[in-house]
Amino acid sequence: MHPTNQDSVFAGSIPDAYDEYLVPLIFESYATDLAVRVRSTAGGDLLEVAAGTGVLTRALAATLPAETVLVATDLNQAMLDRAEQCGTARPVEWRQADALQLPFPSASFDTIVCQFGVMFFPDRTAAFREARRVLRPQGRFLFNSWDRIEENDFAAVTTDALATLFPESPPRFLARVPHGYYDTDAIGDDLVRSGFRGIRIETVESRSQAETPWIPAVAYCQGTPLRNEIEALDASRLTEATALVREELARRFGEGPVDGKIQAHIVSAES
């Protein structure tokens, strides 16, 4: 499944809700994991693609040697603005950029890394070819991608709950995009077609935890482009939709602290 134009729009209040609620809920543990992998396998100049609000950027800035040049890009300037406001442990060059048309000369970087961004690319093979173009020989490409939605508890509950509120047009953003690029054979094939070699894919389970079920409800319904989909169906029902998801999460995981499974694929390849 490929994203629509609206699926890639992180604007308005979405970046703030995304960074406040979704980042600690599902992204921080994988950002730490990816930063450690980058440090152990890569050196030289590094480009981050689809940096979002900078959760991985912050981990990289804190983990990588001071001499590593770190450039972070994203399609949405609003996300980069939030990332810059959060700050990093050392200087980072922030650039607005489309992953399908990177504004860098060929062979500019030793490593390219992407935290949960490849699912949003409208043409993944083209994006992978562009990544390979700006990598130097023997460069490394590392990224992660969510596993199927059934392996990610809160996202699955959110999608199922919203289907009861909008039965004629169930909002399927979470299944369609973040959890739509889970087939490891397809991922490997796309990388091979793009000219990569030495492909390794590891599936890693983690936990998603929050103090209340309201947090994941707001995170998914108001901190992702799922909000765009809900509002396109009926903008007056966003609060109702969020409350319904909270109720279903509470029914499944309790009214107090909630804990759910999350699972993703960690991918590395050589140019």
pLDDT in tens, 150-176: 999 999 999 999 999 999 999 999 999
Over residues 63-121, the pLDDT tens digits come to 998 889 999 999 999 999 999 999 999 999 999 999 999 999 999 999 999 999 999 99
pLDDT at 18: 85
* Residue 28 confidence (pLDDT) above 90: yes
Q: What are phi and psi of 165, to 5 degrees?
A: -85, -35
pLDDT category of residue 58 using cuts at 50, 70 and 90: very high
The gap from C-alpha 173 to its chain's centroid, in whole angstroms, comes to 13
Bridge partners, residue 135, by sequence: 109
**pTM attached to this predicted model:** 0.93
pLDDT at 169: 97
Over residues 220-245, the pLDDT tens digits come to 999 999 999 999 999 999 999 999 99
Bridge partners, residue 113, by sequence: 48, 142
pLDDT at 191: 98
Give 184's Cβ-side CA count (13 Å radius).
Answer: 13
Please report the beta strands in 116-196, taking only residues with DSSP state E, as ranges in sequence order: 135-146
CATH architecture under which domain 5-270 falls = 3-Layer(aba) Sandwich (3.40)
228 contacts 6 by C-beta, under 8 angstroms: yes
* Residues in contact with 202: Cβ distance below 8 Å, sequence separation at least 6, in sequence order: 265, 266
Could you tell me which of 119, 142, 244 has the C-alpha nearest to residue 196?
Answer: 142
Region 180-187 average pLDDT: 98
Give 258's Cβ-side CA count (13 Å radius).
Answer: 26
Region 124-129 average pLDDT: 98
pLDDT above 90: percentage of residues in the chain: 89
Tokens 């492909």 sit at which residue? 199
Distance CA 20, CA 129 (A): 33
Domain boundaries, the chain: 5-270
* Residue 131 confidence (pLDDT) above 90: yes
